[in-house]
Amino acid sequence: MTWAIARRVVIALVTLLLATIVVFGAVHALPGGPATALSADSTSPTAAAATMHAYGFDQPLPVQYAKWIGQVLSGQLGTSPLTDLPVSAQLAQRLPITLELAVLSLLFAIVIGVPAGVATAARPGRLTDWVASAVALGGLSLPHFWFGILAILIFAVHLHVLPSGGFVPLANGLGGNLEHMVMPAIVLGTGLAAVIMRQTRAAMIEALGADYVRTARAKGMREWQVIWVHALRNSLITVVTVVGLQLGGLIAGVVTVEVVFNIPGIGQLTLDSVYQRDYPTLQGAVLLTAAAYIIVNLLTDVCYTLINPRLRVTVTRGAT
């Protein structure tokens, strides 16, 4: 099992390395890439050349890449030519905000999605199942930016119960922080809750038809034990995979929700750096996002192995 996990880690590292090449290549291949963007602001050709030289843009690409990787490994992501702030400092400032949003919405999605999936799977075909499935499909189709706008209209503009956007750091009090985060987290988590509910339901229905469930029932086990202990444990494998795969979608959602609710997170930073052609920041933000995604995928794989003993064996045999 250790070998299986080690193999996963190596693959993740290779993917991460490829990702750095893609990020670097993409940003530098852009016509109007960093060089043009910088020199456009300069008044004279000599000044432009000096700026280019100061940021190292006049060197060959492989050299620039090697330098950049060296910096990345030591935690330095360069300096934003616009704000003259280190990119890593900007990312460090905004990452906790985005993480809080992501974790809260994930929590919301799990708390709603898993019990709803289990409850509907336990009694398929009932009215509750039908209603919950329909609601889930609705949640799946609801574009979060629209949902966010509607939520602001209802809860902030008309009812005045929640702020319409912005962010209060945790340091300034938990109440104010959560007040600002609750609406974005629910808006972002709704689609995910729908996905989790549907997947839990499908996996549970399959598990409840399995022989071991029949055996458990035949042994006289309580129905709640059969459902919540036996069947759910096996269904969780599917759910964990789906949650892992969905996190990529969550990242896209984070950007839109941050824009709608005006939350100064990584998503806003990425978009702003596109609009302002701030390439070092863009590079850093995109790399951070990609790295986060790769790490989440790795953790998903490891969770798999830990939840399902059977997978440990198959994976060790070297199966892909």
Give the Cα separation of 87 and 242 in Å (integer): 32
Q: Can residue 118 be called a binding residue for another protein (CB under 8 A)?
A: no
Stretch of residues binding another protein (CB under 8 A), selected from 19-27, 44-52, 82-90, 172-180: 19-27
Q: Can residue 156 be called a binding residue for another protein (CB under 8 A)?
A: no
Nearer to another protein, 16 or 110 (CB): 16
Q: Can residue 27 be called a binding residue for another protein (CB under 8 A)?
A: yes
Give the Cα separation of 82 and 285 in Å (integer): 15
How far apart are CB 172 and another protein at their closest, in Å? 27
Give the Cα separation of 88 and 230 in Å (integer): 46
Distances (CA, A) of 316 to 6, 29, 303, 305: 10, 41, 15, 10
Nearer to another protein, 19 or 50 (CB): 19
Give the Cα separation of 226 and 10 in Å (integer): 39
Nearer to another protein, 171 or 218 (CB): 218
Note whether 117 and 163 are within 8 A (CB): no
Q: Can residue 157 be called a binding residue for another protein (CB under 8 A)?
A: yes
Nearer to another protein, 66 or 153 (CB): 153
Nearer to another protein, 3 or 174 (CB): 3
Q: Can residue 125 be called a binding residue for another protein (CB under 8 A)?
A: yes
How far apart are CB 255 and another protein at their closest, in Å? 6
Q: Can residue 178 be called a binding residue for another protein (CB under 8 A)?
A: no
Q: Can residue 205 be called a binding residue for another protein (CB under 8 A)?
A: yes
How far apart are CB 311 and another protein at their closest, in Å? 16
Note whether 244 and 300 are within 8 A (CB): yes
Give the Cα separation of 239 and 129 in Å (integer): 19
**87 Cβ partners below 8 Å, 6+ apart?**
77, 78, 79, 80, 280, 281, 283, 284, 285
Q: Can residue 166 be called a binding residue for another protein (CB under 8 A)?
A: no
Helical residues (DSSP H) of 74-126, grouped into ranges: 87-122
Stretch of residues binding another protein (CB under 8 A), selected from 43-51, 102-110, 151-159, 168-176: 151-159
Nearer to another protein, 27 or 178 (CB): 27
Question: Which DSSP letter does residue 276 get?
Answer: T
Q: Can residue 282 be called a binding residue for another protein (CB under 8 A)?
A: yes
Note whether 25 and 287 are within 8 A (CB): no
Q: Can residue 212 be called a binding residue for another protein (CB under 8 A)?
A: no
Distances (CA, A) of 151 to 74, 102, 204: 43, 18, 32
Question: Residue from 70, 96, 173, 209 that binds another protein (CB under 8 A)?
Answer: 209
- Side chain identity at 212, as an amino acid letter? Y
Please count the CA atoms within 13 angstroms of the CA of 68 that sit on its side-chain side: 26
| Residues near another protein (CB under 8 A) | 11, 14-15, 18-19, 22, 26-27, 29-32, 121, 123-126, 129-130, 133-134, 137-138, 140-143, 145-146, 149-150, 152-153, 157, 198, 201-202, 204-206, 208-209, 213-215, 217-218, 248-249, 251-252, 255-256, 259-260, 270-271, 274, 282, 286, 289-290, 293-294, 297, 320
